[in-house]
Amino acid sequence: MAPHKTRSPAASIHKHDAELDASVGKDGIDYTRVNLLRNTSVAKLYEDALRYEPGTSISSAGALVTSSGKKTGRSPRDKRIVDEETTSEDIWWGPVNTKLSEHAFLINHERAVDYLNTRERLYVFDGFAGWDPKYRLKIRVVCARAYHSLFMHNMLIRPTEEELKNYGEPDFTILNAGAFPANRYTTGMTSNTSVSINFKLRQMVILGTEYAGEMKKGVFTIMHYLMPKAGVLSLHSSANQGPNGDTSLFFGLSGTGKTTLSADPARALIGDDEHVWTDTGVFNIEGGCYAKCIDLSAEKEPEIFGAIRFGSVLENVVFDEDTRVVDYSDKSLTENTRCAYPIEYIPNALLPCIGNHPKNIIMLTCDAFGVLPPVSKLTSSQAMYHFISGYTAKIAGTEEGVTEPEATFSACFGQPFLVLHPTQYATMLAQKIHEHTADVWLINTGWNGGVYGTGKRIALKYSRAIIDAIHNGELKKAQYETYPIFGLEIPKAVTGVPAEVLNPAVAWQGTKEEYNATVTKLANLFNENFAKYSDQATADVIAVGPKL
């Protein structure tokens, strides 16, 4: 029997190549002193997480089960962007982007560096954001947890050995000292959590939260600024491609069916969350997927269920202590249970994750008022209006205190990650739609026949039939009628969908007075929301809002 071979701890830990040594001091990390693991293997990260990070296990399927600590979701109120002269005039300051002084950032930076430099082990992952080599960014992640390194190994694009050898200096560095708190008395802090981005220094600092999704969405925020500045459009969307090379983009907030409807066995998945539309097509920003796991089953979402295996990271899930089988219905730790896995774990992923110019753009909404049509065809101006609006609705029971449908508007279907004013992204989208003659559709996957509690949720099979009718060209040739007040063009017939479902006025099961009152209520909510953007929106876009 051959002798068992292992590398000595020193050999595996002290991995100092000339390239890393050359960057000592630029981000404050002492690469020559700390025990460093750069782009280490998945197996080694598993070992370290199990050995050094309490609450870590292996699921029966082989995934690494981890805990993100007290924070099981993002902390948008603690996100800051540094107010500095190179970017300040570009940024949409206000509800999403809160200013942080350069001095306060340096205090947080020093705090993170001091913490990281005193760890026994330090992990560095060098990867890429963006599959198109022309636009991709080199992202370096420095962290103290194996879990965080494995997470970003999955979510960024993994370099080849040759690419890693010639990596050079990163374009952006994330210092994740999430286990160490921010100082609440530092100017600009509102808690002991801080997620701050400095575009001038090309650095992001995380303190006071170990939720890994902060890194993922931090990279997206960075791309959401730098890509439009480079003349290409970053989008919070999923994307897939048909056998004939026709690409579709899907926009939608949580609960609208974006992931479910873009996961089509007849079409290749380009990506599930973040894309950029360039002069040559669309590319995925990420190298992996970050899927919600609540109520996940092999029957409902077989691709995602099958992707949870060795190499995947399961966050904050509950499992059987003996069998290690995960109970995806258990939300006792959080409703936001998640799994991060490389995109190649999806059988029909398109690799590299680059698609052609979109032929169809699908905006998804879950209207709990029951008055938006299941499908409508949008003009370019309407596309901008609904893109800027980013409407969906919360329903009773989803959050404490919500007892009736509650409208939610998130600009560009991703307001928490916008850096520029929403109209800048919308204008670029309109130009792309016009240039490539893409068709735009608004699809309601919510209620029909009445409000939530009275009507019924539109059957998934109907939504899938509508998507199929878009992709096979049926809806492009259909006959349309105009839906009053909202001015939407709705088809008179769709194969596989009952005719009465297509027009909310016909489907409504209550009184005409109730219907009219509900339409008026939602129209007013749209108009009130859009008033926030009317100062920078063009007249043609303002004109297509609901008319009462």
User: Which residues does the annotation mark as catalytic?
Assistant: 74, 217, 236, 254, 258-259, 273, 338
Per-residue tokens: 444: 């309601």
Q: Determine whether 25 is exposed, middle or buried from the number of CB atoms within 10 Å of its CB (0-12, 13-18, 19+).
A: exposed
- Tell which residue, 123, 278, 346, has the closest CA to residue 215: 123
Tokens 């560009």 map to which residue? 412
Q: How far apart are CA 164 and CA 383, in angstroms?
A: 41
With a CB cutoff of 8 Å and minimum separation 6, the contacts of 72 are 211, 315, 316, 333, 334, 336
The C-alpha atoms of residue 244 and residue 301 are separated, in whole angstroms, by 25
C-alpha dist (Å) from residue 178 to 71, 183, 304: 10, 13, 28
Strands 406-409 and 79-82: unpaired
What's the half-sphere exposure (Cβ side, CA atoms, 13 Å) at 525?
A: 19
- Going by the DSSP 8-state scheme, the letter that residue 391 receives in this structure is E
DSSP, collapsed to helix, strand or coil, labels residue 398 as: coil
Token couple for 45: 């990260």
Cα dist from 79 to 156, 188, 219, 320, 426, whole Å: 21, 10, 13, 36, 24
Buried b (16+ CB within 10 A) or exposed e, 54-86: eebbbbebebbbbbbeebbebbeebbbbbbbee
Distance CA(351)–CA(349), nearest Å, equals: 6
| End-to-end Cα separation, the chain, in angstroms | 83
- Are 190 and 323 in contact, with CB atoms under 8 Å apart? no
**How far is Cα of residue 34 from the mean position of the Cα atoms in its chain?**
33
Six token digits for residue 21: 């040594």
The CA distance from 538 to 155, in Å, is 37
AA letter at 122: L
Q: Which residue(s) pair with 194 in the sheet? A: 207
Spatial CB neighbours of 401, under 8 Å, sequence gap ≥ 6 = none
DSSP string, 9-31: HHHHHB---HHHHHTTTTSS--T
Residue ranges with strand state E in 366-517: 375-378, 391-394, 406-409, 439-444, 447-448, 456-457, 480-483, 488-491
Q: What angle do CA 294, 298, 300 make, to 5 degrees?
A: 70
Nearest to 355 by CA among 423, 286, 271: 271
Residue with tokens 């609960």: 255
